[in-house]
Chains A and B, each alone.
Chain A
């Protein structure tokens, strides 16, 4: 254990040493440069969104500089994205000038995000203009960002800034120019608004990048909570106005979100909070957390269709919870002075940042009945547990590799995700682990304490936005304050070692047991309906889309052993054309037939017959109550706020 940690530290230092040699630039925290953009002499940004509907935005900046060699950075490590995801490929038509004279820029030969210029004598401010291409395909965090009616505006995309400064001491005055008739939402304080132009007050660079600014033609602002001067809002932007029409019960559910979160954490670290939600099938689903807002992107019918809420109803609660867990409290090595080299984020502790947050986001969503009733949680838990228990990659890859490797796992896609594992695993397995911790605390204290006490030690109190960092030892200490237990060994087992089984004991401890029946799991059905997929993972061992294209095959399953693989398409099942219903009926019938399932499979233009030697019938996961025990899950998921 300690050998492991010492080794890690040594390796890390050695690596940074090499990095320093490779990049002839000023480096670590000790040598940050003085910020030239001060509160009284800030850099300025005007984001012109008027061509957003055509996939283009323009930025016009002035940046304080000093004469001589000078370097400007385009943000690379974007907070909340946990990777070097700054969308460099969307930045184009860069022009730099001073007093109307063009200044030649040159990209660094190693760090593609750095632009070098030579500032003429006597010049202390340069003009920087560039074009941002809003609609890249093929990229994980930035698919389409604008439609005819909506634009997602993340400030990191629209700025360059002085290299190697502390972004909490670097100041910016930002403005927005909207298309005709559009409105916007964000957490930035407004200085003035004049028609389509909004001028914001001067803030730090950190706050600016922390304040996404959504805008759109069709919008709805809902005040969800207020107390004293503090307020929370739900700001909706849709491609179609009918997508705003959510039932009153759902608005009530979202109004429950703030008081429940404040009750859970025992305070707040924001003054005004905006959940900015786009409703568009054209903008890929996403949720990115900020101190006083969240950048949430969902389908057209996200707030109007029940399956969408079952499948993804924790979107807003998850991002909201991050205001406490992630933004206020942050892993010590995820917190960096700015967004660029040589300050890469270290993502090891995402098992707290994202793992616990997955649990809390769900707790809030169930407590507020956004994602289902409290009594639905066992079904949801069965779905999550089974997915992880039946993931072959867990036999070789511990959760710690996925959090440490998050900058690349987030960007992965492709075949056999169950062998490689995915960034989603430290979210969902995190939920199992933190539920396990919750039930351990409840059991050891006879229900006098729970994870709700831990979250108050971790992130309680009221303050304006700020960052307080933590280490793994801090977390174990906070937990021990709540109840004495070997928390170090707990995380060692489930995070830092290969865990052949995910955390499991909480199911029995909560008064349940896992069973597989031929009745579909309600949440897995919602995933199928919203994701247009067919899931036969626990019986035959295959996942497909609704056209029969194979998406994954479980190692060692009947599907695997009989030769199904990625790249194949199931065309016919027992002689009938493939369809979700036909497939499921055939799998179910295997419990009473001895002939297996006959398939016609197409691959690369070749058709062949294949028989699945499977006789177990359909299997779907559920939790059932163990008689005579306390139902902890219902207790946890009940409404807690007064």
Chain B
């Protein structure tokens, strides 16, 4: 089975090696881009480019595979009003018949540079939003065309931005000049440009979170409302501990300056995309001011920061391609390391740095474990299918019954269980002498400027064996490459805990953003919104057997209007009786009764300590960095 992967990868590598064209945009003659963001507030941005060309047939590509998005996510539908000119004369372009991201031109004799202008539509009703009245997320891949089939590390670009009046920006790009609303950046490679998101906004706060050895990290916050920038010092302090914890963990760094660019906007929504020397982080208005957000989502910045080592510096061989377009498809099989381990490390760093309280990790782990244990899709679909299929799982993971189909999120969450399992195995086998902290130093240690070093699955197994000999190949074969009816489980007991279900609340088991929503997944088998709408139903659960389905709305429970409390009391009450719970349910505009045959009470997952054992979770999640934040050499 694995043969297919190797064959395809080999074919791609061959193409990459043999067929790349000579880049016409050199460091002395780069392409230029002016991103005019002055109309960002009404959802429009304009790009004005000059691109080096040579006479004759020429093809320009709009970036399709966007690094970090693991899919063909280039927002072609936001690109409009493309006008190409040579010496002021319009030049006809036409789109390729098969590759929608390729634009063909016939460049006249003697023309060596063309002007390219287009409009980028930043926002769609019901779509992902990229700008508000006060904030704009600027990803350079949206604002450029480039020569087809070149190596983006040898293709140069000089970028500028023009901001609305009174706005500021953040980016990892080196600045050559700033004058009023305009910022001109130094010439960089195309890879670096696309790797350097440039957020802008009216209400901005730049915080230096760490300096050492001439290197600096920043937290750059952009808010829709100025009061959302009033972050408590105690919260800022936890973010200041993040860099030393990460450097201590990985044993070095592969960035010089790092910007965590964070938008605080309900309109822009939640997102996190990793880059070598920055991250594009998007969170809710009150993300930095409401502790509930830090508890539930506090790994946002640690996760993306950790990717600078795991994902950007060390990268799966199939994910590293010479450019962003056909025929260089990303091969996403190894995302179980790239994202799976990173989910574990992002969480670990959030606990070690104090963004989240280390004491909360067992409850967090209980919520994570139970979610995967009770996911019906795991009976048919291995994690390797969700990583190999990531380009489509990422794009289309919404909709009904995500637990039957599984989702792109699974190789993150289940990845955390697997890497915690590996961590506890190393700790147990080495009698506490080694841990995953040693593995990551083999994997991504040392200090360097941004660069990419690729790896294979065999490399990873080799690194692990260096730290602690074990059948790591069998380990990944079992949990990634085969159908695993249970997620990695042994780490719980190994860490000194056992899983229990009872009716006590777990603060990580909740419907995000809804105080009246109910997670009844582990008892009845349904998650309900605050209005009683079934968001998902667990296959073969009592709710499933009663006939409940997504989008059905629970109107009344045993004759009482739906409320979280009424629901919970009905489930608890049914424990004492033989009679079923009566649900009045609305589907479309049809009402009907469903009879819920469940008598086992409320079940919420928790971890409990096993007396007399070592608490590995506490050892893992407590702060590790020494008082001196500077990395050792």
**Interface hits, B393-451 → A, CB 8 Å:** 393, 395-401, 404-406
The verdict on A282 contacting chain B, using a C-beta distance below 8 Å, is: yes
Residues of A within 8 A of B126 (CB): 413-414
Q: What CA separation (Å) do A413 and B391 show in the bound complex?
A: 20
Mark A26-61 against chain B: 1 for CB-CB distance below 8 A, else 0. 000000000000000000000000000111100000
CB distance from A24 to the nearest CB of B (A): 5
Comparing B3-11, B173-181, B240-248, B463-471, the segment that makes contact with chain A is B3-11
CA distance A553 to B125 in the complex (A): 13
Interface residue ranges of B533-592 to A (CB < 8 Å):
547, 549-551, 587-588, 590
Which 3 pairs from chain A and chain B are nearest by CB?
Answer: A414-B124, A565-B42, A89-B396
CB pair A15–B121 under 8 Å, yes or no, is no
Question: Which residues in B have their C-beta under 8 angstroms from that of A471?
Answer: none
The answer to the question of A11 belonging to the interface, with a C-beta cut-off of 8 Å to chain B, is: yes
Q: Does B593 contact A (CB under 8 A)?
A: no
The verdict on B43 contacting chain A, using a C-beta distance below 8 Å, is: yes
List the interface of chain B (C-beta within 8 A of A): 1, 4-5, 7-9, 11-12, 14-15, 19, 39, 41-44, 57, 59, 76-83, 92, 94-100, 102, 104, 106, 119, 121-127, 129, 131-134, 224-225, 265, 267, 318, 326-327, 329, 331-333, 377, 379-381, 384-385, 388-389, 391-393, 395-401, 404-406, 547, 549-551, 587-588, 590
Chain A residue at smallest Cβ distance from B376? A93
Contact A11 to B57, CB < 8 A, known contacts A109-B9, A136-B396, A566-B123: yes
Cβ A604 vs Cβ B132 within 8 A: yes
Contact A415 B43 (CB under 8 A): yes
Give the docked Cα–Cα distance between A149 and B551 (Å).
Answer: 15
* CB–CB A566/B43 < 8 A: yes
- Which of B41, B80, B124, B550 has a CB less than 8 Å from the CB of A55? B550
Given contacts A15-B326, A24-B4, A116-B1, 15 further A-B contacts (CB under 8 A): A7-B104, A21-B11, A21-B12, A131-B404, A133-B399, A133-B400, A133-B401, A136-B400, A148-B590, A347-B97, A348-B97, A414-B78, A563-B42, A604-B132, A604-B267
In Å, the complex CA distance between A480 and B590 comes to: 58
Distance A92 CA – B396 CA, assembled complex (angstroms): 13
Q: Are B41 and A565 in contact (CB under 8 A)?
A: yes
Task: Determine the chain A residues whose CB is within 8 A of the CB of B389 once the complex forms.
Answer: 107, 112
The answer, among A8, A24, A568, for a CB contact under 8 Å with B11, is: A24
Contact string against B for A residues 606-619, beta-carbon threshold 8 Å, 1 for contact and 0 otherwise:
10000000000000
Query: How far is the CB of B266 from the nearest CB of chain A, in Å?
Result: 8
Closest Cβ–Cβ distance, residue A504 to chain B (whole Å): 22
Contacts of A497 in B (CB 8 A): 92
Please give, as numbers and ranges, the residues of chain A lying within 8 Å of B551 by CB-CB distance.
55, 135
Q: Does A18 contact B (CB under 8 A)?
A: yes
Instruction: Give Cα A118–Cα B1 distance, bound, in whole angstroms.
Output: 8
A-B contact pairs, 5 of them (CB 8 A): A56-B401, A93-B380, A413-B126, A414-B126, A567-B267
Which of A94, A346, A408 is in CB contact (< 8 Å) with B380?
A: A94
Which residues of the other chain, B, contact A147 by a CB distance below 8 angstroms?
Answer: 587-588
**Which single member of A90, A116, A396, A415 contacts B127 (CB below 8 Å)?**
A415
Query: For the complex, what is the distance from the CA of A62 to the CA of B344, rounded to whole Å?
Result: 42
Q: Does A401 contact B (CB under 8 A)?
A: yes
List, in ascending order, chain B residues with CB within 8 A of A412's CB.
76-77
Known: A106-B4, A107-B388. A567 touches B81 (CB 8 A): no
Q: Which of A104, A282, A605 contacts B588 (CB 8 A)?
A: A282
**What A residues does B125 contact at CB under 8 A?**
414-415, 549, 551, 566
B327 touches A19 (CB 8 A): yes
A313-347 interface with B by 8 A CB criterion: 333, 344, 346-347
Q: Is A473 part of the binding interface, using a Cβ–Cβ cutoff of 8 Å?
A: no
Q: In the bound complex, do residue A21 and residue B550 qualify as a contact, i.e. CB atoms below 8 Å apart?
A: no
A16 on the B face (CB < 8 A): yes
Complexed CA–CA distance, A405 and B95 (Å): 7
**Least Cβ–Cβ distance between B73 and chain A, in angstroms:** 13
Task: State whether the Cβ of A23 lies closer than 8 Å to any Cβ in chain B.
Answer: yes
Q: How far is the CB of A110 from chain B (nearest CB, A)?
A: 5
Interface residue? A95 (CB, 8 A): yes
Chain B residues, CB < 8 A from A106: 1, 4, 384-385, 388
Q: Which residues of B contact A395 (CB under 8 A)?
A: 81
B590 surroundings in chain A (CB, below 8 A):
148-149
Distance in angstroms from B361 CB to nearest chain A CB is 32
A137 interface hit (Cβ, 8 Å)? yes
With A53-B549, A396-B83, A415-B125 known to touch, is A137 a contact of B398 (CB < 8 Å)?
Answer: yes
Q: Is the CB of B388 within 8 A of A109?
A: yes
A556→B445 CA distance, assembly (Å): 56
CB of A463 closer than 8 Å to a CB of B: no
**Contact with A110, one of B41, B100, B331 (Cβ below 8 angstroms):** B331
Q: Is the CB–CB distance between A420 and B80 below 8 Å?
A: yes
* Given A90-B399, A133-B400: A413 and B77 interface contact (C-beta under 8 Å): yes
Alpha-carbon distance A362/B276, docked complex (angstroms): 56
A135 touches B327 (CB 8 A): no
Contact B96 A12 (CB under 8 A): yes
Pair A54/B547 contact, Cβ less than 8 Å: yes
Check: A594 CB closer than 8 A to any chain B CB. Answer: no
Please tell me if the beta carbons of B97 and A7 are within 8 angstroms of each other in the complex.
Answer: no
The residues of A that contact B12 with a CB separation of less than 8 Å are 21-22
Name the B residues within 8 Å of A110 (CB-CB): 8, 329, 331
A411 within 8 A of B: yes
Contact A344 B98 (CB under 8 A): yes
* Closest Cβ–Cβ distance, residue A563 to chain B (whole Å): 7
A89: chain B residues within 8 A (beta carbon): 392-393, 395-397, 399, 405
Any B CB within 8 A of the CB of A212 = no
Q: What is the CA–CA distance of A619 and B379 in the complex, to the nearest angstrom?
A: 61
CA A149 to CA B589, docked complex, whole Å: 11
- With a CB–CB cut-off of 8 A, which chain A residues contact B405? 89-92, 133
B44: A residues at CB distance < 8 A:
416, 565
Partner of A93, one of B329, B400, B404: B404
Partner of B43, one of A55, A104, A567: A567
Evaluate contact between A8 and B81: CB separation under 8 angstroms. no
Residue numbers in A under 8 Å from B81 (CB-CB): 392-393, 395-397, 419-420
Q: Provided the pairs A148-B590, A413-B77 are in contact, do residues A8 and B104 lie with their beta carbons within 8 angstroms?
A: yes
User: Which of B59, B121, B333, B393 is packed against the most chain A CB atoms within 10 Å?
Assistant: B121
**Nearest B residue to A18 by beta-carbon distance?**
B327
Chain A residues contacting B381 (CB-CB under 8 Å) are: 92-94
A591 within 8 A of B: no
Task: Determine the chain B residues whose CB is within 8 A of the CB of A78 once the complex forms.
Answer: none
Asked if A138 is at the interface of the complex by the 8 Å CB criterion, the answer is yes
Q: Check A404 for interface membership: any CB of B closer than 8 A.
A: yes
Which of A104, A109, A347, A420: most chain B CB closer than 10 A? Answer: A109
User: What 0/1 readout, one digit per residue, does chain A (150-187) give for beta carbons within 8 Å of chain B?
Assistant: 00000000000000000000000000000000000000
Q: Could you say which residues of chain B place their CB within 8 Å of the CB of A564?
A: 42
> Which chain B residues border A549 with CB–CB below 8 Å?
125
Interface string of A389-429 (1 = CB under 8 A from B): 00011011100110011011101111110011100000000
* Chain A residue at smallest Cβ distance from B78: A414
Supposing A12-B98, A15-B102, A18-B15 touch, asked if A419 and B119 sit within 8 A by C-beta, the answer is yes
A137 to B551, CA, bound (A): 11
Query: Considering the chains assembled together, what is the distance between the CA atoms of A605 and B391 in angstroms?
Result: 35
Closest residue on chain A to residue B406 by CB atoms: A92
Q: Write the nearest CB–CB distance from B384 to chain A, whole angstroms.
A: 8
B400-A7 in contact (CB<8A): no
Inter-subunit contact B77/A411 (CB<8 Å): yes
- The answer to whether B59 touches A11 (Cβ under 8 A) is yes
Residues of A within 8 A of B327 (CB): 18-19, 21-22
Query: Which residues in B have their C-beta under 8 angstroms from that of A248?
Result: none
B54 to chain A, nearest CB (A): 15
Cα of A411 to Cα of B7 in the assembled complex, Å: 32
In the complex, what residues of A have CB within 8 A of residue B333's CB?
109
Knowing A148-B587, A604-B267, say if A566 contacts B42 (CB, 8 Å).
Answer: yes
| B127 touching A55, Cβ below 8 Å | no
Q: 8 Å CB contacts to B: which residues of A99-151?
A: 104, 106-110, 112, 116, 118, 131, 133-139, 147-149
